[in-house]
Structure 1
Amino acid sequence: MYMIENSILGFFAVSGFALVISLLVAAGLYLLFSYGLYRLAERTRVDHSWLAFIPYVQYYPLGKILREIRICGFVIPHMEWVLLAAPLVYSLLALIPFINVIASIAYFIFYAIVTYSLFNKYSRYALVMTIVSFILPFFFPIFVFTIRNNTLIKK
């Protein structure tokens, strides 16, 4: 009986340690992304650039940095509002059977384009950074942090 209790305690100790490490890594990545976005917003003179530190609301400065996106000749203006509305619209569409699959694909493609557009404005390696960010998502905040001081390449 004593060995079983020790195994259970050991399991919880290892699990707790892994949880703490995971939370520290997640917090570090969040801070990298928020600070990188904040610096990009400051450098592009976005009002209320401090919003980059507030989850979900950080889409507003991201949209202000992007301004507009061109997709197949179609221009999406006011990206700050589109980026704020997109998760809400997706959440509603995800509740409808069959449409949820189409909405998921469209949402994924939309955010791939947004990610590429951000990286394309500040890096010559936008395609590589976008692909790596979608294969290994923890690289996205690292990339945003690394481009924070880059000069604007494309408007």
Structure 2
Amino acid sequence: MITLFQGLQNSQTTIEIAVYLFLIIIIISLFVGALLFIVLAFALRRIAVREERTHAWMAFVPFMNFYLLGEMARDESDKSWMKEIPLILLFGSIVYLVFPIVPVIGMLYPLCFNGLILYASYLIFNKYSHSPVPLLIISVVTFGMAIPFILFAIRNNEQVTIQLPPNH
């Protein structure tokens, strides 16, 4: 047991290990972030092309992909505040980088912004899936990290239209 931790007794070795672990975590986070961005970009672009949107290229531009997501979600909602959702998501994603510094708002803002992303995603799930609620639950449980993969999975689905009986 003593020989196993003998190298850790040196404080410089401990600092080096901490730095290496930090670098490994940063590299893994960047890789996962890039993977999520690329999968989301391909999914959004495919859906935008199928909907004949002129700005499908926005899917590959950071921050503008949120505008495109909001644009697609806006068309599925009849709520008045949803008219501005593309701009809210665009500027919200930019502001998202600043607010973690602010003490109280830094904790509340991500919850609100992620709630908007989940709602916009739900509207798209509802448009292209027969069961959007389980997809939303998966998105919530994975803290939104499943959204790109779900959108990628449903990108080729036909739009779902619900026909109600005549008496409803």
8 Å Cα contact 2:73/2:121 also seen in 1:
no
**1:123 correspondence with 2:123:** no
Cα 1:111–1:11 shift into 2, 3 Å: closer
Report how many residues are paired: 146
**1:10 correspondence with 2:6:** no
**Of the two, which has the highest radius of gyration?**
2
SS in 1 for 2:130: coil
8 Å Cα contact 1:122/1:154 also seen in 2:
no
Q: CA deviation at 1:88?
A: 4.2
SS in 2 for 1:70: coil
Q: Name the counterpart of 1:83.
A: 86
**1:70 correspondence with 2:77:** yes
**1:37 correspondence with 2:44:** yes
Describe the superposition over 1:93-126 as per-residue Cα deviations: whole angstroms up to 9, x where unpaired. Answer: x99x9xxx7x888766544432211001111221
Describe the superposition over 1:31-73 as per-residue Cα deviations: whole angstroms up to 9, x where unpaired. Answer: 11111101111111110201111122113332443352435xx
**1:140 correspondence with 2:147:** yes
Q: Which runs of 4+ in 1 moved over 2 A?
A: 59-71, 74-78, 85-91, 103-113
Q: Which amino acid aligns with 2:153?
A: T
Cα 1:51–1:153 shift into 2, 3 Å: same
Indicate the percent of aligned positions where both proteins have the same amino acid: 24
Which among 19, 32, 39 is matched to residue 25 of structure 1? 32
Separation (CA, whole Å) in 1 of partners of 2:158 and 2:129: 9
Cα 1:69–1:15 shift into 2, 3 Å: same
Q: How does 1:46-57 map to 2 (within 5 A)?
A: 46-57=53-64
